[in-house]
Amino acid sequence: MPQIKYDELFDEDSFVKTLVLARGDGLGDTSGDSLVTGYGTLGERLVFAAVDESSGTGALHGRNFSDRVIRTLEAAVVHGAPFIMCLGGSSIDISRGARALVAYTGLINALKRAKGKIPLICVAGSDCIGIHSALASMCDFVYLCGEDTYFGAVSAAGVKAFAYGEPDAAAGKDPVPQGLRASGNAEKLAGVYPDTAALRSGLTELISFLPESHRSGMPKFDFDFTLEPSGDIAGLRGRELIKAISDDADFLELGCNYGREVITGFAAFGGRAAGVIGFDTSETDGKVGAKGIRKLASFTEFCRAFRIPGVNLLDFSGIFARSSAEAEELPACIARLCDAMSSMNASGHNLSRRGSVSFITGTACGELAAVIMAASVDNAGSIAYAWRGASVDAIDPAAAALMKYKDQIKADPDPAAARTKYIDLYKRQYSTAEAAGYESLLDDVIDPAETRNRVIDYLRII
């Protein structure tokens, strides 16, 4: 696993060390000797950081260690700059007992206070286990450095023993469940990089899209553009569509291996950055699962906290569950998304001042469509469009048609032909984009080629 060094993360000669001589428990406390704290620039953006350069058990086991991280984090909040926490060690020094617990509780509270005020980024340079995985998940984005880095609340040995009953029975078997090692299959994991150089490049790109704090506006980029039709993009979906309408076809995707049917990330349109939500349901029969909805909610919560405008490209036909446990989980996931997308609190005060522009590019049906469209209708700063030929409905149009016309289909001498006939009839009468516009769910129905121009116009207005 690569050892992360602070001077390899920041722009050359830009990093200034702070709290170099600090000793939280007196001169004898060396728990923080592997820690480097300070500030520097990444892509000419000010960033504060606490980097644990240890490759072994450099855990947050001492007051000196945690106090220095906390003070650096508080300085980042005061200056309104992103904060990067690099975790090097993978375990806690149990010889410190309750002192280790105090160190962790202080850092947990500091992260809670900073949440939503500045972007919080965590990088794990070695296996991220136990309380470290919880600390990492309190941040907005988590990156793993090293393709064999493990991320999980339970250690690999613990998973192995639990999965096979006894440690001896697990001999020779893979101790790591599929999805934990290097796949990024966890809600907060934004990406996995093979080495420090790739990590630095990824962090630089991420920070270039982020505001400095919740009080800052979105960054702008120098980009020459003209408002011209996007060309033939009607057949594009998912990542291809996002890249087709963004500046220089550049899209920074986050968490690509978690909830794969949902796509989240950042892109620029006409030189203005925005959070982007898209869908690729080709592997899930057009539907979205619990992980995808959690991914949507988590990304929306971050964008809402920092007033990042959204660009939503909607194309899904409902929700799915692969097990009874996932089916039971879905209502809570949908409720979380509903709360994340709400722009008002109970008193009617605007909490987010965040608008979004949405495009129904294919189909938008079911509970998920209701939540997203409700947020657009509720927020006066949001706009919703649909491509010509798009379908909008409370449930899948085919299922709705079978319920509405079941008697007619049953009485027809050719039920298969009748089924097709009545589904088409239902779609023409009730599920068209124009019908949704009549109900004030949409602002306009547009040609696909107008999509990029509408995004640029919206971002310029807000």
Per-residue model confidence as pLDDT tens for the chain (462 residues): 556 788 888 999 999 999 887 765 555 555 556 789 999 999 999 999 998 877 655 444 567 778 889 999 999 999 999 999 998 764 555 566 666 677 778 889 999 999 999 999 999 887 777 778 888 889 999 998 887 777 776 666 666 566 555 555 445 545 444 444 444 457 778 888 888 899 999 999 999 999 888 777 777 777 666 666 567 888 899 999 999 999 988 999 999 888 999 999 999 999 999 999 999 999 998 999 999 999 999 999 999 889 899 999 999 988 999 889 889 999 999 999 888 887 544 434 444 456 889 999 998 888 888 888 776 666 666 889 999 989 888 887 888 888 988 889 989 899 889 999 988 888 888 888 888 888 888 899 999 999 999 999 999 887
Residues in CB range of 427: below 8 A, 6 or more apart: 391, 397, 401
Nearest partner of 438 among 400, 403, 386, judged by Cα? 386
Q: Read off the pLDDT of residues 165-214 as tens digits, 9 standing for 90 and up.
A: 555 544 554 544 444 444 445 777 888 888 889 999 999 999 999 988 87
Give the count of beta carbons closer than 10 Å to the beta carbon of residue 140: 24
Contact yes or no for 49/86 (Cβ under 8 A): yes
Q: pLDDT tens digits for 313-335? A: 999 988 999 889 889 999 999 99
User: CB of 212 within 8 A of CB of 118?
Assistant: yes
Q: Are 297 and 336 in contact (CB under 8 A)?
A: yes
Q: Using alpha carbons, select from 76, 130, 74, 72 the residue that is nearest to residue 104.
A: 130
Closest CA to 63 of 95, 10, 100, 22: 100
| DSSP type of residue 432 | B
Using CA atoms, how far apart are residues 57 and 348, in angstroms rounded to an integer? 49
First CA to last CA across the chain, in angstroms?
44
Give alpha helix (H) positions in 306-413: 324-341, 366-378, 397-404, 406-411
Specify whether the CB–CB gap between 5 and 58 falls below 8 A.
no
Distance CA 363, CA 369 (A): 9
Angle (CA) 366 369 370, round 5°: 85
Give 177-236 as a DSSP string: -TTTBSS--STTEEEEESSHHHHHHHHHHHHHHS-SSTTSPPPB-----------S-TT-
> What six digits make up the tokens of 202?
């990824």
Q: Are 46 and 10 in contact (CB under 8 A)?
A: no
The H or E element that residue 276 is part of is: strand 272-279
Please report, to the nearest 10 degrees, the dihedral formed by the alpha carbons of residues 21, 25, 27, 30 taken in order: -70
- In this structure, the strands spanning 318-319 and 383-387 are unpaired
Q: What is the pTM of this model?
A: 0.85
β-pair partners for 46: 41
The span from the CA of 129 to the CA of 149, in Å, is: 10
CA atoms of 135 and 140, how far apart (whole Å): 11
Q: Which CATH superfamily is domain 221-390+432-461 in?
A: 2-enoyl-CoA Hydratase; Chain A, domain 1 (3.90.226.10)
Which residues of the chain form CATH 3.90.226.10?
Answer: 6-208, 221-390+432-461
Residues 86 and 4 sit within 8 Å (Cβ to Cβ):
yes
pLDDT of 346? 40
Give the right CATH number for 6-208 from 3.90.226.10, 3.40.50.300, 3.40.1190.20, 1.10.600.10. Answer: 3.90.226.10
Give residue 157's pLDDT.
66
| Alpha-carbon dihedral sign for residues 119, 145, 283, 290 | negative
Residue 230: the pLDDT is 65
Report the alpha-carbon angle 140-117-197, nearest 5.
45
Cα distance between residue 364 and residue 379, in whole Å: 19
Beta bridge partners of 16: 39
C-beta of residue 317 within 8 angstroms of C-beta of residue 286: yes
Backbone angles phi, psi at 83, to 5 degrees: -125, 130
pLDDT at 48: 97
